[in-house]
Amino acid sequence: MRKIISSIDLGSNELKLVVAEIKGQKTNILAACTEKSHGIKHGILKNSEALINDLKKILKKGEDYLGLPIKKVIVTVPCQDAKYEVGRGICTITNPENVIRGSDIVMALQSSVYNKVPQNKELISVLPIDFIVDDEKIVDNPKNMIAKKLEVRSLIISAPKKNVYDVLNCFDKLNVEVIDISFTAMGDYAVFKNEFTKNKIGAVINIGKDITTISIFNKGVIVNSDIIMLGGENIDNDISFIYKINKNEAKRLKENLALSHKRLAQASVSEEITNNLNKNIKVNQYEISEIVMSRLKEILSIAKKQINYLTKHEISYIIITGGVTESLDFSLLLEEVYGKNVILGNINTIGVRNNKYSSALGIIKVFNDKLLLRDKEFSIFDFEELEEFGNNTKKLNISNDSILGKIFGYFFDD
């Protein structure tokens, strides 16, 4: 079966939809699109009807690319007030060959969750930290090893029920099945991880429209997170206030005239506009870059302090992503605030080469890793749809019976 997976990242500024086909280590983008977001504020769902309306639009865009309806998706949920706890689970290997299989890993992970999720929280993910085989050997992946007993040390991630179920109910009303949920940071890390980061402690910072998310990763596993109430919108507000122009015009100037650092900005480069007082004013690149730089520097500096609050361990790397990081000369500002120990996100997957897609692309990779560890096959399309899909390749875009019970059924059901 072709492994085709879709995801939606619910941002305060935009919804991002990505549909990808996984072939071994390669990810092929079949569709990627965005839709203006109206129902989410500071990462939390505030208006269900507005979100449902936006979801209809972005799903329609994806379906137009693919030629088939999208009825199964992975979704990002808010990380506010998340709880991270270490669990332990044990499984006895009962098959005649004593070979550890994906089903045994699932059983061990299941047992590690028992009585670990508070009543006011909902389970987001269970991530294996490491496995102990027959009380002796510690391994990252025990699959196909010979053993009588398997023990897992896992990280159990939960979040407030309301934050999760408010989002999932919107998809339920559209008859779209949510097959997994994830935090944006987990996707961000999955996109930018490498051989160096997988054995180190580091931080991932995502600068969004109205929040900046800071997450700590230890050997590839998220262990803590927090948000600050600052983002790209604050830059728009600054420009709007100083030049007395509306926010749309301020955003346009930020994206088309300003640089993230004033070092290479030129006072001779300017644009003449009419402000809210009906006066013609000239905005030069150097002045507006100073405004942008000042606010970005504040955001990055606060995020840097927040890292020290979230972990007392020494940080080996910092990864910065989010749509704001696509602005010109952002790397110059990063080096000034963080020094050399920073990685500016750079997605090299054709079709989503913009950091605003990092979370949506990454949670597909996270989901695929879960499938591989558990020996599961999956596609958002059934066999008949895949056959029809194969004939529609010209349309591809290259460039409460608990809802959560459905989600984890993909991993926990036999």
Question: Mean of the per-residue pLDDT values for the chain?
Answer: 92
Per-residue pLDDT, averaged over 248-267, amounts to: 96
Please state which of the ranges 36-40, 43-47, 259-263, 400-404 shows the lowest mean pLDDT: 400-404
What's the gap between Cα 103 and its chain centre? 27
Q: Which long-range contacts (CB under 8 A, 24 or more apart) does 303-308 make?
A: 303/205, 303/212, 303/214, 303/228, 304/337, 304/338, 306/214, 306/226, 306/228, 307/203, 307/214, 307/216
Percent of the chain beyond pLDDT 90?
Answer: 86
Residue 18 pairs with which residues in a beta bridge? 7, 32
Enumerate domains of the chain plus CATH numbers: 83-160 (3.30.1490.110), 233-289 (3.90.640)
Q: What is the pLDDT of residue 399?
A: 40
Q: Which amino acid is at 368?
A: N
| Arithmetic mean of pLDDT, 247-267 | 96
pLDDT at 392: 61
Stated pTM of the model:
0.91
Counts of helices then strands in the chain (DSSP H, E)? 11, 18
For position 390, what pLDDT does the model report?
66
Q: Is the CA virtual torsion 50, 51, 54, 59 positive or negative?
A: negative
Cβ partners under 8 Å of residue 69, min gap 6:
59, 63
Is there a contact between 323 and 232 (Cβ–Cβ < 8 Å)?
yes
Q: What is the pLDDT of residue 383?
A: 75
| Count of Cβ atoms closer than 10 Å to residue 213 Cβ | 27
**Residues 27-46 pLDDT 10s:** 999 999 999 999 999 999 99
DSSP per-residue string spanning 329-397: THHHHHHHHHTTS-EE----STT--SGGGHHHHHHHHHHHHHHHHHT----SS-HHHHHHHHTTGGG--
pLDDT-derived band at 382, boundaries 50, 70, 90: confident
Nearest residue to 386 (alpha-carbon basis) of 74, 59, 30: 30
Mean local confidence (pLDDT), 72-77: 97
For the cut 70, the answer to whether the pLDDT of residue 173 exceeds it is yes
Q: Which helix (H) or strand (E) holds 407?
A: helix 403-412
**Per-residue pLDDT reduced to its tens digit, 307-362:** 999 999 999 999 999 999 999 999 999 999 998 889 999 998 999 999 999 999 99
Q: Return the bridge partners of 92, or none.
A: 149
Q: 318: which strand partners?
A: 203
pLDDT at 400: 40
Q: How far apart are CA 359 and CA 3, in angstroms?
A: 19
Q: For 85-114, what is the mean pLDDT?
A: 94
* Neighbour-count burial of 312, counting CB atoms closer than 10 A to its CB (0-12 exposed, 13-18 middle, 19+ buried): exposed
Q: How far apart are CA 106 and CA 93, in angstroms?
A: 12
Is pLDDT above 90 for 396?
A: no
Is a pLDDT exceeding 80 seen at residue 413?
A: no
| Distance separating alpha carbons of residues 342 and 335, to the nearest angstrom | 7
Neighbours of 194 (CB within 10 A): 8
pLDDT bucket at 25, cuts 50 / 70 / 90: confident
H-helix or E-strand spanning residue 179: strand 177-182
